Amino acid sequence: MDDTTHEQQAQTGAQSSTTTTTTTNDPPPNDATNPPLSEPQDGSNKFQQAIAAWRTLDLSTLISSLDTTASDLVEHQKDSLVQRKELAQKTKDFRKLEDEKKLVEIKDLLKSYQGYVDLLTNHAKGVQAAFMQVYSPLSEAPDPYPLLEASIEGLVTAEEVVPRLEGENQGLRKQNAKLNAQLEESEKALEQERIKRVEVEQEQDRKIREVEGSWERVLKEKEENWTAKEKALEEKAEGQERLLKELKANYEVSQRLERSGGEEAQDMTRGSATQAELDIVNSELEKANTRLADLESRNEQLRVELAQSAGQANSSAKSTAVEDDPAYMRLRSENQSLLRKLDTARYDKDSEKSSIESKLRGLEREISSLKADRDALQARVQKWNDYDEVKRERDMLRTIEFSTTDDTEAGDEEPQKQINGNADTTTKSGESLEQLLLTRNKKLSNDLTELRVSQNELNQRFEQLQEDLSTANMDLEKSQKLNATLENHLQKAQQHASNAFENMSVAGTWTSRHPAKSAYGSTRRGGGTSPTSSIIGGFDPNNTGAGSPRLGSGLESLRAGAGGGAGGGTGTDGGNQGILPMVTAQRDRFKKKISELETELQKQYTLVSSLRSEVASLQRDNLNLYEKTRYVSTYNRGGGASGASYAANPNPSTIPIGSSSSSALDTTTSATASASDRYRTAYEANLSPFAAFRGRETQRAMKRMNLLERAVFQVTRMVLATRTSRNLFAVYCVGLHVLVFVMLYWMGMGDLEARGSVGAATAAGGAAAAAGAGGGDAGLAAGAGGGGTGSGGVVGNGGDWRPEGFQAGGGGG
């Protein structure tokens, strides 16, 4: 009966647990399973509008059409460049033409200019059309920056929330699978329990019927035995009574006989017989009394057992009645609803906690971004004074980075270089700044050396041209003096010729009244003749004798010229053979030579001015190159191979560029130190005083630091100085973190193993305690029957229902 009660309680606990599991697997309320959307509806509308606008824009098609437009623009640029060169050449040729031809050629030139203007107009129209083609769709498209920023924030939030949600989802899936498995197991167990319960009920009914039948048979047998014994005892009692009656009768007979016969012998025989009969009767009576007492005790024991079996049947019926009680079922349903509400409240609390945590993370990100913006603005305000220097350095770096082509090419090739410059910049973009600086430094050094060599050559040429100019000036002065002297001599010769023609009749007797330095000649260095003597036919004032044929022929020619002039030009042959055409021709030659000399002098002046401007520009370029080399030397001072190469050759002006420039470098070695000092002086004169002030401020800030701050500053500079040090520091940090994580994992595994061993020991102790407590089922049943708080009890003291007792009772079953 006790086992039957425990089985019924186990079935009841299984039913309650199955009901609880079924109710806990119910879907949570809508507010828990369907939380409100975090993103507003207008944000999704903005995203949809932006996607629709950019889809309508069709950027790929627009770019392909713009590629065609760009190629057309490049072709237009090339055509305009060619036509501009043609117009420039035509304009130059037009300027060289005479005025009459200019009037004829101006129409063609105007047509060319009109065609160039039409080309530029078409080019401008094409550019405007391309601009409107790009501007009209882009003006309608929204700004993608806030949308991309919102998307990035959403992605960051998703990256933070999605792993947690995935973990929760996996946990919920596992829990759901576990609960489903438990539900299936509990349903199977419930079905088995139902089957077992039916079987147990049937078996219990069968056993009850068997027990009742056995007890009925026992009772019938007992009744039959009791009736048989009662009949036997009644028969025996009747026999005893008959025996007593016979004995009484015999006793009366014996007494009568004693009275009548011999008294003594008869008394002895009769006394012995009666005594024996009385002993037999007493013994049988005692045996009957003992059997009767045993039967009564057995009857009482059977009555007690019957009462106990009836009490147990009543208690099982009462327990079954309590489980089927509606109040009990109502309390169980209330408990299940409270458990569901508790789960729902816990889920709501977790969802609110996750939403609050996400909001806090968003606020922290906003605060960090605001702080970063504030710090950036403060740093920008603090560094605003360095804008000019930073801009200059940026321009310098941009120039160093992008100026990879030859800077000495012609100006007409600049548009073509601009067209092809993008390819050069794209090919150079992969190189690092240090490599670009080294390449640019080498190129600038080579250019500086070549410019210095060309400067020296230009200086030598300039000096040579100055010497030639001074010589030409001296020759010009001499020519001018000789021209003046010639004109004077011609005048005097004409006067003397007229006087000699009038006064002398013999040409050979005329002699000059002038001394050796006469009008027909002048003594020069080395006793040479003057140009006048060569003009008049070789007249030599030193040979004034009559036998000189050249003197006679010269006088004859003078006379012929004078006579021809006096005769009014009648003798054309004689006049042409005179000295005046020779002098005129010589004068024309002198004028032509003077004009050529003046033209050459003007060219020399132009060349000198251009050389002076080129020298000034070279000085400025040298100063800029010196500044760049100083900047590169400061940049590469702390480096590796670049610093070593600069230390090996600190002066970039003496960098060798090849065997072709070795001789020129040998000629410029003596002037290098002075030029370097001069450029250094000019560079230091152009330096801003704020740079020195900032250097002093930096040194003073360094001095104000304590030893620890200075050490941290130096270590930071040393770590961030080169790429190798930065990579080593990053590898060190990663290795340190990996080591810490490995140690923490190892310690956690050790703690888990220790806890596992402690749990195993605790489980072993619990199993031993459970084994020790297994022998007290009768005491637990007695406690349940007495209304205690045992593990199998459902009803507590005073009949109050307790969840702990209920759960313990379910576990005890």
pLDDT value for 687:
66
In tens, the pLDDT along 386-412 reads 777 777 777 777 766 555 444 444 444
pLDDT value for 509:
38
Q: How far is CA 59 from the centre of its chain?
A: 26
Cβ pair 493, 500 in contact under 8 A: no
Residue with the larger pLDDT of the pair 773 and 255: 255
Residue with the larger pLDDT of the pair 737 and 466: 737
Interatomic CA distance for residues 539 and 551, integer angstroms? 5
Question: In this structure, how many other beta carbons lie within 10 angstroms of the beta carbon of residue 103?
Answer: 10
Winning range, highest mean pLDDT, from 93-97, 196-200, 317-321: 93-97
Helix axes 41-57, 59-96, angle to 10 degrees: 50
Q: Does the pLDDT of residue 15 top 50, yes or no?
A: no
Q: Residue 810: which pLDDT band, with cuts at 50, 70 and 90?
A: very low
Cβ pair 516, 541 in contact under 8 A: yes
pLDDT value for 736:
95
Q: Residue 497: which pLDDT band, with cuts at 50, 70 and 90?
A: low
Q: Which residues contact 565 (CB under 8 A, 6 or more apart)?
A: 575, 578, 580
pLDDT value for 742:
94
pLDDT value for 738:
96
Residue with the larger pLDDT of the pair 744 and 545: 744
Cβ pair 683, 630 in contact under 8 A: yes
pLDDT value for 730:
93
Q: Which residues contact 532 (CB under 8 A, 6 or more apart)?
A: 485, 486, 489, 519, 520, 521, 522
- CA-CA-CA-CA dihedral for 180, 185, 187, 188, to nearest 10: 140
Q: Does the pLDDT of residue 489 top 50, yes or no?
A: yes
Q: Does the pLDDT of residue 613 top 80, yes or no?
A: yes
Interatomic CA distance for residues 400 and 753, integer angstroms? 64
**What's the average model confidence in pLDDT over 325-345?**
79
pLDDT value for 655:
39
Least confident of 407-416, 715-724, 742-751, 786-795: 786-795
Q: Does the pLDDT of residue 56 top 50, yes or no?
A: yes
Q: Residue 273: which pLDDT band, with cuts at 50, 70 and 90?
A: low
Dihedral sign computed on CA atoms, order 400, 404, 406, 412? negative
Q: Residue 262: which pLDDT band, with cuts at 50, 70 and 90?
A: low
**What's the average model confidence in pLDDT over 13-36?**
42
Q: Does the pLDDT of residue 28 top 70, yes or no?
A: no
**What's the average model confidence in pLDDT over 323-350?**
78
| Greatest C-alpha distance within the chain | 271
Q: Does the pLDDT of residue 608 top 80, yes or no?
A: yes
Least confident of 188-202, 306-320, 336-350, 457-471: 306-320
**DSSP run (H or E) holding 155:** helix 144-260
Q: Which of 801, 767, 768, 812 is nearest to 2 (CA)?
A: 812
Residue with the larger pLDDT of the pair 13 and 598: 598
Q: First vs last Cα of the chain: how many Å apart? A: 14
Interatomic CA distance for residues 275 and 273, integer angstroms? 5
Winning range, highest mean pLDDT, from 114-123, 154-163, 621-630, 635-644: 114-123
Cβ pair 796, 2 in contact under 8 A: no
pLDDT value for 65:
80
Own/partner pairs for 309-312, CB < 8 Å, 24+ apart?
A: 309/1, 309/211, 309/215, 312/1
Mean pLDDT for the chain?
69
Q: Does the pLDDT of residue 440 top 80, yes or no?
A: no
**What's the average model confidence in pLDDT over 82-93?**
86
**What's the average model confidence in pLDDT over 702-712?**
89
Interatomic CA distance for residues 497 and 563, integer angstroms? 9
pLDDT value for 728:
93
**What's the average model confidence in pLDDT over 777-801?**
40
The first and second tokens of residue 201, run together, are 């009920």
Least confident of 10-24, 105-119, 578-592, 612-626: 10-24
pLDDT value for 674:
64
Q: Which of 230, 56, 235, 253 is nearest to 139 (CA)?
A: 56
Local structure of 795: helix, strand or coil: strand
pLDDT value for 246:
78
Cβ pair 713, 705 in contact under 8 A: yes
**DSSP run (H or E) holding 95:** helix 59-96
Q: Does the pLDDT of residue 574 top 80, yes or no?
A: no
Q: Which residues contact 667 (CB under 8 A, 6 or more apart)?
A: 456
DSSP codes joined into one string, 236-269: HHHHHHHHHHHHHHHHHHHHHHHHHS-HHHHHHH
What separation in angstroms does the CA of 178 have from each of 22, 170, 185, 222, 373?
13, 12, 10, 60, 50
In tens, the pLDDT along 517-564 reads 333 333 344 444 444 444 444 444 444 443 333 434 444 444 444 444
Winning range, highest mean pLDDT, from 171-180, 194-203, 732-741, 802-811: 732-741
Interatomic CA distance for residues 715 and 620, integer angstroms? 41
Interatomic CA distance for residues 369 and 153, integer angstroms? 12
Residue with the larger pLDDT of the pair 119 and 567: 119
**What's the average model confidence in pLDDT over 468-473?**
90
Own/partner pairs for 191-199, CB < 8 Å, 24+ apart?
A: 193/10, 193/11, 193/14, 193/15, 196/7, 196/11, 197/7, 197/8, 197/11
DSSP codes joined into one string, 476-538: HHHHHHHHHHHHHHHHHHHHHHHHHHHH-S-GGG---SS-SS-TT----GGGPPPHHHHHTTS
Interatomic CA distance for residues 723 and 725, integer angstroms? 6
The one-letter code for the residue type at 601 is L
Interatomic CA distance for residues 118 and 110, integer angstroms? 12
Residue with the larger pLDDT of the pair 218 and 480: 480
Residue with the larger pLDDT of the pair 731 and 225: 731
pLDDT value for 732:
94
Residue with the larger pLDDT of the pair 791 and 44: 44
In tens, the pLDDT along 274-299 reads 666 677 777 777 777 777 777 777 77
DSSP alpha helix (H) spans, 636-688: 641-648, 662-667, 669-686
Percentage of residues of the chain with pLDDT beyond 90: 4
